[in-house]
């Protein structure tokens, strides 16, 4: 049996559909705090081991967010670029049918890589209940992530950490990697609260202006030109964003962007991890030993999964933003209070494990 830690795995379900050729996997790591919550990704090279690792990460993310969810994740092995819309829908519906028996009592799905609110509507329709997943379109009772919950949460975490240190966010300089859903809303809220975003990057490069970039201008230019680098300012390589002299760095797109090649050149005093795994733990430790405040991904970017919880409760977007603010502010502060030797990730992980272990003991699953 595959058992990687004392917390799980509870179920690993590999499925195949003869008609569509769909291959998929659902990994449920731990359900002590509630049904496993995690998205469905659709990628051609997904593996069971990858999905297991992501499911475990969701256990800690949901526990640290203090939600009544466990940890789970799913993957469908397919290249969406080579599928027609009809074929993609057929794969999603086939996957839903194959795991229907565990939904929503043991697993609640959500959007992930290459799946959107449209696929979530199809998934819920196939299962026959809106409780099957979150991230659905507003028209079918959902709170789509397009509302900006993740970026809002990143901004809240950063503001909380700044204020915890006795400083003010007003006037602080920020560099943001990525200008998609997460990056745009992170910029919007940080700017609204007085910070000065001086650099933003996308796949075409980085735009840098010491005087500050305007949110509305970047939105318009990105829509018209397809890249933020068309804005007024100094144009740099995308990788240069991480080495700029800013107060707060927000890696918000790809994994491992802070690594052995550039960690020595990081000048930011705080890193708010909007993306998942933008730096490995040993790289984070290098930064933390220098006194850099690292806000780990599963703390800072939990706004999306908190929004998912609000959707399962049937709350509106206004309530959702209040809940995201309250939970991320509280969890960021709790993490910082528990942090020793600047190791914020260890502090957050310890808190998450304690919460899961407490639920397991209350259920009689462990002594």
Query: Is 73 one of the annotated active-site residues of the chain?
Result: yes
Percent of the chain predicted with pLDDT > 90: 92
What confidence tens digit (pLDDT) does each residue in 234-266 have? 999 999 999 999 999 999 988 899 999 999 999
Query: At residue 71, does pLDDT exceed 90?
Result: yes
Sequence-distant (6+) residues with CB within 8 A of 39 are 73, 74, 109, 110, 111, 112, 113, 115, 135
- Of residues 366 and 22, more confidence is placed in 22
Query: Tokens 């950490």 — which residue?
Result: 161
Averaged pLDDT, 76-82 = 95
Averaged pLDDT, 98-122 = 96
What confidence tens digit (pLDDT) does each residue in 280-297 have? 999 999 999 999 999 999
213 half-sphere exposure, CB direction, 13 A CA radius: 34
Q: What is the CATH class of 11-58+73-142?
A: alpha beta
- pTM summary value: 0.91
Averaged pLDDT, 54-68 = 96
Average pLDDT, the chain: 95
* Confidence bin at 178 (pLDDT 50/70/90): very high
pLDDT of residue 68: 97
Please give the Cα distance from 2 to 366 (Å, whole number): 19
pLDDT of residue 335: 98
DSSP string, 23-55: EEEEEEEE-SSSSEE--EEEETT--HHHHHHHH
pLDDT of residue 230: 95
pLDDT of residue 284: 98
* Confidence bin at 2 (pLDDT 50/70/90): low
116 half-sphere exposure, CB direction, 13 A CA radius: 9
Query: At residue 146, does pLDDT exceed 80?
Result: no
324 half-sphere exposure, CB direction, 13 A CA radius: 31
pLDDT of residue 3: 61
327: left (phi over 0), alpha (psi -120 to 50) or beta: alpha
- 149-303+333-349 and 11-58+73-142 share a CATH fold: yes
Please give the Cα distance from 179 to 164 (Å, whole number): 27
Q: Which of 136, 118, 127 lies closest to 26 in space, CA to CA?
A: 127
Q: Which of 273, 60, 58, 37 lies closest to 135 in space, CA to CA?
A: 37
Which position among 37, 61, 73, 188 bears the catalytic label?
A: 73
Query: Tokens 């609000």 — which residue?
Result: 310
Query: What does residue 72 show for φ and ψ, rounded to 5 degrees?
Result: -155, 170
pLDDT of residue 366: 86
Query: Tokens 């030797």 — which residue?
Result: 341
pLDDT of residue 144: 77
Query: At residue 140, does pLDDT exceed 80?
Result: yes
Q: Domain limits of the chain?
A: 11-58+73-142, 149-303+333-349
Averaged pLDDT, 203-224 = 96
What superfamily does domain 149-303+333-349 belong to in CATH?
A: NAD(P)-binding Rossmann-like Domain (3.40.50.720)
């Amino acid at each position: 049996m595959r058992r990687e830690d004392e917390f799980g795995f509870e179920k690993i379900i590999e499925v195949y559909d003869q008609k569509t050729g769909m291959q998929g996997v659902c990994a449920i790591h731990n359900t002590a705090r509630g049904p496993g919550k995690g998205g469905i990704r659709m990628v051609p090279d997904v593996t069971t081991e990858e999905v297991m690792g992501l499911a475990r990460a969701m256990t800690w993310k949901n526990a640290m967010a203090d939600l009544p969810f466990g940890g789970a994740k799913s993957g469908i092995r397919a290249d969406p670029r080579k599928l027609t819309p009809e074929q993609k829908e057929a794969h999603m519906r086939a996957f839903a049918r194959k795991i229907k028996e565990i939904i929503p009592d043991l697993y609640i799905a959500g959007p992930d890589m290459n799946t959107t609110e449209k696929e979530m509507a199809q998934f819920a329709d196939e299962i026959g209940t809106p409780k099957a997943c979150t991230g659905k379109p507003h028209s079918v009772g959902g709170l789509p992530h397009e509302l900006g919950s993740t970026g809002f949460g990143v901004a809240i975490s950063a503001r909380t950490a700044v204020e915890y240190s006795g400083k003010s966010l007003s006037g602080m300089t920020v560099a943001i990697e990525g200008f998609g859903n997460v990056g745009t809303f992170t910029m919007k809220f940080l700017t609204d609260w007085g910070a000065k975003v001086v650099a933003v990057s996308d796949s075409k490069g980085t735009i840098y202006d010491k005087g500050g970039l305007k949110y509305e201008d970047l939105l318009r230019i990105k829509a018209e030109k397809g890249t933020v680098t068309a804005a007024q300012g100094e144009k740099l390589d995308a990788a240069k964003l991480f080495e700029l002299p800013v107060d707060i760095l927000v890696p918000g797109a790809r994994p491992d962007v802070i690594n052995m090649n550039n960690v020595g050149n990081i000048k930011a005093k705080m890193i708010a991890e909007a993306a998942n795994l933008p730096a490995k733990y040993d790289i984070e430790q290098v930064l933390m030993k220098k006194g850099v405040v690292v806000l780990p991904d599963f703390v800072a970017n939990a706004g999306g999964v908190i929004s998912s919880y609000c959707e399962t409760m049937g709350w509106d977007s206004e309530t959702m933003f209040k809940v995201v603010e309250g939970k991320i502010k509280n969890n960021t502060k709790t993490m910082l209070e528990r942090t020793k030797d600047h190791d914020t990730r260890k502090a957050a992980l310890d808190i998450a494990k304690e919460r899961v272990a407490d639920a397991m003991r209350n259920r009689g699953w462990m002594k």
